[in-house]
């Protein structure tokens, strides 16, 4: 069945939660508060993981909030139809989530001191994760890996270009209220904290892949099958770095590298996968 995406400012969004009104409201009218904290990602980069981490930081590592309240209520998706209402009634300081590219992020952010935490991931692992996500999301129509890879590079995937998303947000890299981290660095956190403080240890344990898989408040297992059908695969699928090596052919890898070099030219940052 063809999926009718919602298009806003040239970017298409999955229709289940998004509307032109919610996106336009988020862009033009949403009032950012100075004490807001935004969890921003391109899809499949560790969004839900960062939601768990930030919720646990707020709870000083104690997991009770994470285990009793849905992640989407702890950190509403403020640019979506349902998330918008939750965000408007959320008492300060708010934790908020989105996949918005920089150019359609709330205009009121420009003059605020609200914090942005931007998590990004090796784009090749993003494509692989996206590929499996498409199998369990009825709103994502591409189920053939070469087709998804081509769509990712064009780009014609929902949420727009990974390359533009990263370039747009990385323009803020020198701002005090902007912090970026990679999925690959997050995987090292447990190793770096040696010996970790008790709160850090609790946080690392409760935000671990294993703990998250067992927590229905973040594993998406409670979603109805027409939104996410986890009989076809798990949302928290593998949680590893470098799975692209099991999926890209040599030719696909070479082509992707060429496109990556072209599209990221002039970006003055070296990510773990560039080294
Ligand atoms: P995989 O499909 O590669 O397993 P998002 O939340 O942006 O949709 O990202 C989902 C990806 O993040 C999935 O990747 C998921 O398994 C991974 N992920 C979520 N929590 C994680 C954790 N605690 N540790 C490692 N990876 C995690």
Query: Measured in angstroms, how far is the CA atom of residue 53 from the centroid of ligand 1?
Result: 13
Q: Euclidean distance between the first and final Cα of the chain, in Å?
A: 42
Q: List, in sequence order, every residue forming a beta bridge with 180; answer none if it has no partner.
A: 118
Which amino acid residue places its CA nearest to atom 27 of ligand 1?
239
Is 1 within the bounds of a domain?
no
How high is the pLDDT of residue 196? 74
| Nearest protein CA to atom 15 of ligand 1, as residue | 236
Please check whether residue 144 lies inside any domain of the structure.
yes
Which of ligand 1's atoms lies nearest the C-alpha of 51?
6
Closest approach atom of ligand 1 to CA 207? 23
Give the ipTM of the model, two decimals please.
0.99
Element (H, E) at 116: strand 115-120
Measuring from each residue's beta carbon to the nearest atom of ligand 1, which residues come in under 6 Å?
A: 41, 43-49, 125, 129, 132, 207-209, 212, 236-239, 243
Please spell the DSSP secondary structure of 182-208, one letter per residue: EHHHHTTHHHHSSSPPHHHHHHHHHTS
Distance CA 102, CA 176 (A): 16
Looking at residue 16, its pLDDT comes to 81
CATH number for position 238: 3.40.50.300
CA distance 172 to 263: 18
Tell me, yes or no, whether 201 lies in a domain: yes
What atom in ligand 1 is closest to the CA of residue 212? 23
Output the CA torsion sign for 142, 165, 17, 241: positive
Lookup result for tokens 């999301």: 137
Element (H, E) at 117: strand 115-120
Q: Which domain holds residue 255?
A: 6-274
Nearest CA to ligand 1 atom 12: 46
Ramachandran bin of 63, using left for φ above 0, alpha for ψ from -120 to 50, beta for the remaining angles: alpha
- What is the distance in A from the centroid of ligand 1 to the CA of 108? 30
User: Total structural domains in the chain?
Assistant: 1
Alpha helices in the chain (DSSP H): 20-24, 47-58, 64-68, 71-74, 81-88, 123-136, 145-153, 162-170, 183-186, 189-192, 198-206, 209-213, 250-263
Residue 85 lies in a domain: yes
- Name 117's bridge partners: 39, 179
How much distance in Å is there from the Cα of 272 to the middle of ligand 1? Answer: 17
Averaged over successive runs of 10 residues, the pLDDT of the chain (275 residues) comes to 87 91 97 98 98 96 97 97 94 98 98 97 98 87 88 95 98 97 91 73 94 97 91 96 98 98 96 95
261 within a domain of the structure (yes/no): yes
Assess contact for 36 and 96: CB atoms under 8 A.
yes
Residues 194-219 as b or e (16 or more Cβ within 10 Å = b): eebeeebebbbebbbeebbbebebbb
Whether residue 94 lies inside any domain: the answer is yes
Structure pTM? 0.96
């Amino acid at each position: 069945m063809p999926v009718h995406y919602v298009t806003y400012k040239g970017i298409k969004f999955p229709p289940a939660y998004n509307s032109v009104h919610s996106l336009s409201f988020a862009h033009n009218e949403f009032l950012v508060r100075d004490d807001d904290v935004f969890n921003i990602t391109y899809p499949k980069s560790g969004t839900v993981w960062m939601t768990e981490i930030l919720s646990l930081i707020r709870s000083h590592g104690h997991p009770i909030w994470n285990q009793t309240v849905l992640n989407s209520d702890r950190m509403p998706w403020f640019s979506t139809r349902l998330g918008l209402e939750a965000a408007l009634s959320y008492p300060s300081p708010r934790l908020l989530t989105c996949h918005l590219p920089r150019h359609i992020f709330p205009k009121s952010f420009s003059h605020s001191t609200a914090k942005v935490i931007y998590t990004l991931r090796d784009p090749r692992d993003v494509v692989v994760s996206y590929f499996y996500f498409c199998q369990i999301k009825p709103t994502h129509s591409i189920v053939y890996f070469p087709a998804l890879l081509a769509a990712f590079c064009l780009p014609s995937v929902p949420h727009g270009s990974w390359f533009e998303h990263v370039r747009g947000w990385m323009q803020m890299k020198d701002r005090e209220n902007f912090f970026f981290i990679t999925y690959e660095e997050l995987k090292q956190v447990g190793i770096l904290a040696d010996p970790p403080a008790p709160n850090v240890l609790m946080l690392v344990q409760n935000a671990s892949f294993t703990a998250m898989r067992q927590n229905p408040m973040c594993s998406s297992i409670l979603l109805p099958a027409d939104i996410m059908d986890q009989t076809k695969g798990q949302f928290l699928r593998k949680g590893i770095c470098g799975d692209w090596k099991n999926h890209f052919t040599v030719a696909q890898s070479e082509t992707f590298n060429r496109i990556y070099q072209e599209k990221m030219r002039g970006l003055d940052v070296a990510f773990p996968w560039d080294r």
